[in-house]
Chain A
Amino acid sequence: MPPPVKAEEYYKGYLVNRDQMEGDPHFSMGCEFCHKGDETGVNKDAAHRGLVPRPSDDLKSCGLCHEQIAAKYSQSLHFTAAGLREGISRRFSAAELKKFDEKVFQQSCRSCHASCGDCHVKGPSVGGISTGLIKGHKFIRKDEGKTCAACHGGRIYPEYTGEYGGEPDIHYERGMLCMDCHQLPEFHGDGAMYKSMRMIPNRPDCKTCHKLGGEKKLYTRTAHDKHQGRVSCYGCHSSGSYRHCYNCHAGQNGTSKPGFLLGVNPRDPKTVTTLRLTPTVRDTFEKAGIRMEKFDTQPNYWDAPVHNVRKKTERTRSCDACHVERAGFLTNGRLIENGSRANERLIVVPKPISR
């Protein structure tokens, strides 16, 4: 996650560095051009009258100069937040989905969209808190640790850096950050409007860099041959516990706990992978009058591309970890209480190895 900001230093996120404004065309038209308000106001209230704190929420502001990028971005999942809708919509009847669109999506889920400034100017606001302007209002190309890490700081980023405890992802240790695997179209969009991130072409794939068949050790090559198409890379190479979220969203008292779970991939039932508990519970949308008529058709656990990859893990060191001890596998006893009936379909018992 971004370095924590002390309460007494929170104001620093609003400080502008006058020196770096020199020569940057973004500042040539003055503050009012983007932020409105009144540059001549003699106090905070007067100057902030009509202020637009996040000018890039209206993509036309950046689109004045960056026309093509803004046009594509208007269709991007980071802006539309459509992935959140797609994920939950399968639990709704048609009437419930209509109600969800009217009462919940725009007001709640969609409020999490990212605008241009959230990645290029200021740490995005999460729960009403932002780490503030980056480098005194410099317009930056990227700074994953201050931008991606804020929105994805609940699970993905701290997994990656090892801030949960446990080992950091090997790629992080080697100096790689988000955009070393995730390509620009995943952020800016490619002009198409996708319903889910899984529909975006050319998403990161371990095999792009780690070609199968090129393994140096016979043991490794055999393991890959045996498990290819049956177990995801994460299934063996996730180093251990990652975060699972319970009872969250429109419900109350959302909590998170570490854990490691292996089971059937609900999107690809022929493979076993790392699963993550998602926070939707039966009464999540009760306040909006949505009972989720199809709640039990969808599991509460979903395939998770866990960002804590290591070359050597308990499962790569010994076949027995899975095939004898069955460590980490989802079982009836580990399922959440009052969860979806579809959860049971994710339980798998690894076969013993004939020796």
Chain B
Amino acid sequence: MKRAVFLSPIFWLSLIILSLPAQAAAENNCLVCHTNDAVMKTLVKPPEIKSEGEG
């Protein structure tokens, strides 16, 4: 019975689909930088102040 489950294409397909979100998250390089204080500190330069506020 156990052997039959492991050989089923549905089992393998389900495994791949279920793992997709985790894989997508791992590939999201936006979060790699944008959640890293040290990295963002090197990447973001403060702009120059040019004007006062409005209204």
Complex Cα–Cα for A30 and B25 (A): 8
Would you give the shortest CB distance from B49 to chain A, in whole angstroms? 6
Counting chain A CB atoms within 10 Å of each CB, the highest count among B33, B35, B48, B52 belongs to: B52
Binding site for A on B (CB under 8 A): 24, 27-31, 33-35, 37, 40-41, 43-55
Tell me whether A11 and B29 are in contact in the complex, defined as CB-CB below 8 angstroms, given that A18-B35, A112-B54, A129-B49 are known contacts: no
Of chain B, the residue at the smallest CB distance from A243 is: B52
Indicate with 1 or 0, residue by residue over A221-249, a CB within 8 angstroms of chain B CB atoms. Answer: 00000000000000000000000000000
Indicate with 1 or 0, residue by residue over A16-50, a CB within 8 angstroms of chain B CB atoms. Answer: 11100000000000110001010111101001000
B41 partner residues in chain A, CB cutoff 8 A: 11
Q: Are B31 and A126 in contact (CB under 8 A)?
A: no
Would you give the shortest CB distance from A138 to chain B, in whole angstroms? 14
A40 partner residues in chain B, CB cutoff 8 A: 27, 29
Q: Are A18 and B31 in contact (CB under 8 A)?
A: yes
Q: Are A10 and B46 in contact (CB under 8 A)?
A: yes
A126 partner residues in chain B, CB cutoff 8 A: 51, 53-54
B44 partner residues in chain A, CB cutoff 8 A: 10-11, 13-14
B51 partner residues in chain A, CB cutoff 8 A: 126-127, 254
Binding site for B on A (CB under 8 A): 1, 7-8, 10-18, 30-31, 35, 37, 39-42, 44, 47, 112, 126-129, 150-156, 254, 256
Partner of A37, one of B24, B30, B47: B30
B43 partner residues in chain A, CB cutoff 8 A: 11, 14, 44
Partner of B55, one of A8, A31, A127, A154: A154
Q: Are A15 and B34 in contact (CB under 8 A)?
A: yes
6 A-B pairs with CB atoms under 8 Å apart are: A16-B30, A37-B30, A47-B29, A112-B54, A151-B54, A156-B55
Of chain A, the residue at the smallest CB distance from B42 is: A11
B27 partner residues in chain A, CB cutoff 8 A: 39-40
B24 partner residues in chain A, CB cutoff 8 A: 30
Q: Are A127 and B30 in contact (CB under 8 A)?
A: no
Q: Are B40 and A127 in contact (CB under 8 A)?
A: no
Complex Cα–Cα for A14 and B8 (A): 46
Complex Cα–Cα for A156 and B53 (A): 10
Q: Are B29 and A41 in contact (CB under 8 A)?
A: yes
Of chain B, the residue at the smallest CB distance from A126 is: B53
Of chain A, the residue at the smallest CB distance from B55 is: A152
Complex Cα–Cα for A12 and B44 (A): 9
Q: Are A7 and B53 in contact (CB under 8 A)?
A: no
Complex Cα–Cα for A178 and B54 (A): 16
B52 partner residues in chain A, CB cutoff 8 A: 127, 154, 254, 256
B37 partner residues in chain A, CB cutoff 8 A: 12, 15
Tell me whether A31 and B35 are in contact in the complex, defined as CB-CB below 8 angstroms, given that A154-B54, A254-B52 are known contacts: no
Of chain B, the residue at the smallest CB distance from A137 is: B34
Complex Cα–Cα for A320 and B15 (A): 85
Tell me whether A31 and B53 are in contact in the complex, defined as CB-CB below 8 angstroms, given that A11-B44, A15-B35, A128-B47 are known contacts: no
Complex Cα–Cα for A263 and B43 (A): 52
Counting chain A CB atoms within 10 Å of each CB, the highest count among B27, B29, B48, B49 belongs to: B29
Q: Are B34 and A155 in contact (CB under 8 A)?
A: no
Q: Are B34 and A42 in contact (CB under 8 A)?
A: no
Would you list the 5 A-B pairs with minimal beta carbon distance, nearest first?
A: A153-B53, A11-B44, A154-B53, A10-B46, A127-B51
B40 partner residues in chain A, CB cutoff 8 A: 11-12, 14-15
Would you give the shortest CB distance from B8 to chain A, in whole angstroms? 29
